[in-house]
Amino acid sequence: MEKTLQDLAALLLDVVFLVREDGQIAFVNPACTAVLGYAPDEMIGRVIQDFIHPDDLLRTRTEMAQVASGRPGYGFENRYLRKDGAAIHFQWTAFWSVQDKLRIGVARDISERKRSEARQAALLALSTAAHQADSPASMFSAFDLTLRDLLPLRRLAVVLEPDGRLAYLSDGAGWAETDHWHAVTMSTPGAAFGQLRLELAGGLQAVEHELLQFAASQAAAAIERFALQADLAHAARYDELTGLPNRRLFQDRMRLALARSRRDQVGGAVLFIDLDDFKSVNDQHGHAVGDQLLRTVAQRIKSCVREADTVARLGGDEFVVLLEEVGSLPQVQRVADKIRKTLAAPLALGGVALPVSASIGLAMYPQQGEAMDDLMRHADQAMYAAKALRKRGLSGAELRTEV
């Protein structure tokens, strides 16, 4: 290369390569030391493929062949490996000099632009995961993959407040509290939800700290949303006062029970339970005492049935029980009697002993219907009939005839 041209190349900030047909480097300007960490002497005479990132080698060979065939290359991008092992992103202009039988290439270091693009993509990926993931575990798994691309991340662990529960841990890694973790708090202005903990293979730059802060704030907002959704899902299926299933959940359970009954030829029963004169409890002792009575009634009814049976509150002082896999009427009547007796034990509330009594109606399936509406109507009517008898001063023994 002529002296003037060499002096010119020495002034350039871009890296200039002259490469022979067989890939051997004939010349490289001093900029390569700043960019790749090699002095020119360490590169000249070696084949250029030695410095190319292995993942980019194949398509770089194709590009080189095209340049060698006479088509100049503009804008081709690939990665080289610095002397310290770090990847450098280059953007190339290259042409083949027929006269010198050399490929002349000028490579611009675009690593910073690539990093900035990768950070932008990561911000989008983190925010998308936080907004679209259907569970905390899938969100943190997406966070792990995204952060791993940009940070010297070995393992990610996520610990949630208030009990320090481990909500996520990178695959195949054991967890020990004593390990050295870089911790970032996940919080919204109103509350702290826990920490992202990172085991790192190196230090973090300021922009990487910012990325982690962003990840933590997105995670906090998502955890708040997951908690709200869980509350709403619970509220949609359970009665707030007693904690029992509500009408909707009861209907779901009953639909399943009826389908099982048809399939397996097993019967069951529905009991309608309505408290007697409950209004007077509210009127005489106040709503709070009425509430407490309803809570106690819920517990008492539950204590009379098996774990697999469903006790639900339909609203007000109306409860309903689904007894699965009970075939005979006497069996069901025994449960109804047990509930009536258990409820009848006086209840000490607000300094007074309150009498509790209930009217109970029942419907057996499949004997009295196989459709939910029919069975509910039948049990409801039986309950009203029992209540009417009670109001006429007849005893519990007569109530059973209404069944």
Ligand X SMILES: Nc1nc2c(ncn2[C@@H]2O[C@H](COP(=O)(O)OP(=O)(O)OP(=O)(O)O)[C@@H](O)[C@H]2O)c(=O)[nH]1
Binding site for ligand X (CB under 6 A): 241, 274-279, 282, 287, 290-291, 294, 316-317, 387
* Least Å from the CB of residue 377 to ligand X: 18
Q: Which is nearer to ligand X, 279 or 334 (CB)?
A: 279
Q: Quick one: how far is CA 80 from the chain centroid?
A: 38
Q: Which is nearer to ligand X, 93 or 282 (CB)?
A: 282
* Least Å from the CB of residue 126 to ligand X: 44
How far is the CA of 393 from the CAs of 333, 354, 382, 386, 387, in angstroms? 21, 20, 17, 11, 10
Cβ proximity of 276 and 359 under 8 Å: yes
Q: Which is nearer to ligand X, 143 or 272 (CB)?
A: 272
Q: Which is nearer to ligand X, 126 or 297 (CB)?
A: 297
CB count in 10 Å sphere of residue 120: 10
Q: Which is nearer to ligand X, 138 or 357 (CB)?
A: 357
Q: Element (H or E) spanning 297, and its range? A: helix 287-303
Q: Which is nearer to ligand X, 111 or 282 (CB)?
A: 282
Q: Which is nearer to ligand X, 144 or 402 (CB)?
A: 402
Rounded Cα gap, residues 316 and 298, in angstroms = 12
Q: Which is nearer to ligand X, 56 or 274 (CB)?
A: 274
* Least Å from the CB of residue 274 to ligand X: 5
Q: List, as one string, the DSSP characters of 16-33.
A: EEEEETTSBEEEE-THHH
DSSP 3-state of 325: coil
Cβ proximity of 27 and 16 under 8 Å: yes
Enter the tokens of residue 37.
């960490």
Rounded Cα gap, residues 362 and 403, in angstroms = 6
Residue of minimal Cβ distance to ligand X: 290
* Least Å from the CB of residue 305 to ligand X: 22
* Least Å from the CB of residue 231 to ligand X: 19
* Least Å from the CB of residue 300 to ligand X: 16
State the virtual CA torsion across 332, 338, 339, 340 in degrees, nearest 10. 110
CB count in 10 Å sphere of residue 34: 10
Q: List, as one string, the DSSP characters of 88-123.
A: EEEEEEEEEETTTTEEEEEEEE-HHHHHHHHHHHHH
* Least Å from the CB of residue 291 to ligand X: 5
* Least Å from the CB of residue 388 to ligand X: 10
